[in-house]
Chains A and B, each alone.
Chain A
Amino acid sequence: MIIINIDVMLAKRKMSVTELSDHLGITMANVSILKNGKAKGIKFQTLDKICELLDCQPSDILEYRKDK
C-alpha cells in the first residue's frame, strides 16, 4: 500500500497544514483526506506543488509498504 508522509515532511519543515492548504489552493478538508491517505489518487500538479513548498522529492512524500 501507498503511505503518504506529508505529516512527517510538514514537521521536518516546521510548516502547518494551513500553509500547505493555502499553497495548494485546496480546502483543509481535502488536505486532511490527502494527509490521512483517504484520497483515491493524487494529481501530479498537487504533488509538484507539495514538493515545491516542502522542498523535497516525491519519494519523501510517497512510500510503498507491503500489505501484511
Chain B
Amino acid sequence: MEQKKISVWLKAVVVGFGICGILFYAVILPKMAGGLVERLPELQRLYLPWLILALLTAPACFGALVLAYIIFDHIGRDQSFVKENVRALTLIAYLAFADTGLLFAGNVIYLILGLSLLPLMELSALLCFIGAAIGAAAYALARLTEKAIELRTENEAYI
C-alpha cells in the first residue's frame, strides 16, 4: 500500500476513534453509569465522583488523537522522520503517562475516601496498565524516530 493511502486510512481510523470517544464520554458513559445507579441505588454516592474522574481523562485522550492525526498527515506527505513527529510522539507519551497518573491518583484518593469498589479498581488498574503501555510505546517510538533522523542526516552527508 502506498504511503499516502496508508496515511488516509490511519487518519480515518483516528477520526473514527475521535467520534467513538465523543460518543463514549458524552453519551455512553453517563448513561451506562446512570443505568447502573438506577439498578443499584446504593452506588448513587459513587456516580458523580467517578464520572468526573472519567471525564477528566478525556482531554489527554483527545489531545493524543489530534497529535496522532498530525503524525499520520506528515507520513502522507513523506515526512515520517521529522522533528515535529518526535515532538508529537513525546507529547503523546507524556499525555498517556499524565492520564495514567491521574487515574491512579484518583483511584487512591477515592479508596481513602471510601468511594471505591473492587470492580472499579480492577477496571482502573487495567486502564492504567494500557495507558502506561501506550506511553512507553510512544516514548520508544519518539526516540527511534529521533535516531532515524540522525541516521538520515548523516547518510545525506555522504554523496
Partners in one complex: yes
Chain B residues near A (Cβ < 8 Å): 154, 157-159
Decide yes or no whether A56 CB sits under 8 A from chain B: no
13 A–B contacts from the bound complex (CB under 8 Å): A26-B159, A30-B159, A33-B159, A34-B159, A39-B157, A39-B158, A39-B159, A40-B154, A40-B157, A41-B158, A41-B159, A42-B159, A43-B159
What does the 1/0 interface line of A1-38 toward B look like (CB < 8 Å)? 00000000000000000000000001000100110000
A-B contacts at CB below 8 angstroms, number? 18
A20: min CB distance to chain B, Å: 12
For the complex of A and B, the 3 pairs showing the least CB-CB separation, nearest first, are: A40-B157, A41-B158, A39-B159
Report, as a range, how many residues of chain A touch the other chain: 10 to 19
Residues of B within 8 A of A26 (CB): 159
Known: A26-B159, A40-B158. 8 other contacts (CB 8 A): A33-B159, A34-B159, A39-B157, A39-B158, A39-B159, A40-B157, A41-B157, A46-B159
Kindly provide the distance from the CB of A46 to the nearest chain B CB, expressed in whole angstroms: 6
**In whole angstroms, how far apart are the Cα atoms of A40 and B154 in the complex?**
8
Instruction: Give CA–CA (A30, B157) in the complex, Å.
Output: 9
* Bound CA span A40–B158, Å: 6
In whole angstroms, how far apart are the Cα atoms of A33 and B159 in the complex? 9
